[in-house]
Structure 1
Amino acid sequence: MTDPVSHRQALAVEPFAVLSRVPAIGNLILGVRADGALLEGIGAIETATLEDGFAVLRGPGRETRLELAAIAQIVTDQMVMKNVLPFLEILDSQGNTIAKLTALDGLEGFDAALDGLARTPLDAAPAAARPGPGDEPADGPLKAAEAAGKPVTLQAVKTGVVHRWTGTLTSVSFSHGFLNAMQPDMHLHIRAGAITAWNRESVDGSDVFSAIDGAGKAIGLTLTAEAGALAG
């Protein structure tokens, strides 16, 4: 068996020098994984600013704060669906992915946005392991938000990043082992069994629901609504 052809390359520059170019990439999917949940913001990033040691990427209803000190490497790679989809992967010092930005407008615009940045070839990344089947995850506040038709904020937090989307949920359903919330500018995918409960607390006039796994641990995904908006 031959090794797969690698398109993976390291960008050997200061992280904000790369992230400041993200608005030029155009439409993209910016995904952050909490433990068992993937929150993706979809659309163009309008601004990339440097704020107190964070690169802050903003688009309509979306904000991602990336801690520059937590970023050890940024690599480019690509996957082939119907078209070639190039992406940036932001990694910590252990090689774990902090965030992934997948360009939707093709390779040409992606390469143009990163023009002039030196790249070093890397071996292809190993295929990600696929989790086994599990129970349907608890969906209480997600379904309540869909029924209420009120704006909510979804937030995924892990070391090095805070990623949030604000809008009105219109489609929450379980299919093929995942609980999904699908919007034109956001996708949320929660693996079967990843959430067994949601803890609710009141914070500054809002209800904050934190997703909890089977071991009683918060996975880093929250849903925030106006106090009482999701009651009943």
Structure 2
Amino acid sequence: MDQQADLRRQLLAPPLNVFSRLPLLGRIMIAVRDDDVVFERIGVVQKLERDGTMMFCVGPAHDSEINLNNLSQVVVDYSSKMKDKVLPRIEFQEPTGKIVFSVVGLEGVEQFDTALKAFEGVAIEPLVKPALESAPATLDADDVGLQPLKAARAAEAEITIEMRRPGVTQRWHGLVPEINPAMGYVNIITSDFHLHLRGGGVTAWKRSDVAADGTVELVAIGPGDKSLGLFLRGPATAFGAA
């Protein structure tokens, strides 16, 4: 592929056909995001399972559910780089062009193209990054979004961190790793899981009643009482005072 002339293409194939190739891509990053949250799982998808319109990514580093009814079109993009390495990306989109989730090929262009070579595509205009309209992110020591994660880490409690957006749910489970505040974000970065939460993005956590098994679920709420799609679930004692 001439990456300079053809950085972005819309594939002429149903999303299911493209999705079925994920195990052939090797190590990938599946990214789900909202305005103030980025949730990424990283590793090899060992297999895919289907139940009606639902598809499930299965692997040591992947636990996600995708509703095929929310996927309308697929775009591949070659514009992202890390140092000199191109990180090709698949965008699974709604009819409006809004991205439901993205898949980044971490093995490089050759394996990426080999996995998708059966699909023809048409060149489309490259993305133009919009000018930054919001103020730079800032993170206070008492940031609301940080508190339950700090509490769960201090309690050494295993919790589930989950991101739910229309058409996709992705989760991680375990002991909360080191939390790295940087660049105005709460960051959890491990070999197979990244969470980036903008400082000030969470204005409250809506806490459920305690379930029969002793667990609670916290829902991250942003400005305007909007759910950010970020959920924490674990023992009621894990997240500090109610």
Cα deviation 1:200-232 (Å, max 9, x = unaligned): 113453211111113222211001113333446
8 Å Cα contact 1:133/1:192 also seen in 2: no
Q: Which residue of 2 aligns with 1:212?
A: 221
8 Å Cα contact 1:27/1:44 also seen in 2: yes
Q: Which residue of 1 aligns with 2:113?
A: 111
8 Å Cα contact 2:14/2:72 also seen in 1: no
Write the mapping of 1:82-97 to structure 2, written as runs, cut at 5 A: 82=83, 83-97=85-99
Residue 108 of structure 2 is aligned to residue 99 of structure 1: no
> Quick one: distance in 2 between partners of 1:188 and 1:151?
16
> Quick one: distance in 2 between partners of 1:164 and 1:144?
19
> Quick one: distance in 2 between partners of 1:128 and 1:168?
37
Match for residue 227 of structure 1 among 223, 229, 236 = 236
**For residue 96 of structure 1, what is the amino acid of its counterpart?**
K
Q: Which residue of 2 aligns with 1:69?
A: 69
8 Å Cα contact 1:20/1:49 also seen in 2: no
1:222 is paired with a residue of what secondary structure? strand
> Quick one: distance in 1 between partners of 2:205 and 2:127?
34
* Inter-CA distance 93–172: structure 2 relative to 1 (3 Å threshold): same
The answer to which of 204-213 and 185-194 deviates more is 204-213
**For residue 166 of structure 1, what is the amino acid of its counterpart?**
H
* Inter-CA distance 214–128: structure 2 relative to 1 (3 Å threshold): same
Aligned-residue identity in percent: 30
Q: Which residue of 1 aligns with 2:135?
A: 132
> Quick one: distance in 2 between partners of 1:168 and 1:61?
15
Superposed CA RMSD: 1.8
Cα deviation 1:121-180 (Å, max 9, x = unaligned): 111122155442245242111111221222211111111111111122111132111111
8 Å Cα contact 1:34/1:156 also seen in 2: no
Match for residue 121 of structure 1 among 120, 123, 129 = 123
Q: Which residue of 1 aligns with 2:199?
A: 192
**For residue 223 of structure 1, what is the amino acid of its counterpart?**
L
Write the mapping of 1:167-178 to structure 2, written as runs, cut at 5 A: 167-178=174-185
1:17 is paired with a residue of what secondary structure? helix
* Inter-CA distance 33–203: structure 2 relative to 1 (3 Å threshold): farther
Structure 2: segments with no counterpart, 5+ residues: none
TM-score for both structures, normalised by structure 2: 0.88
**For residue 229 of structure 2, what is the amino acid of its counterpart?**
G
TM-score for both structures, normalised by structure 1: 0.91
How many correspondences in the alignment? Answer: 229
Q: Which residue of 1 aligns with 2:21?
A: 21
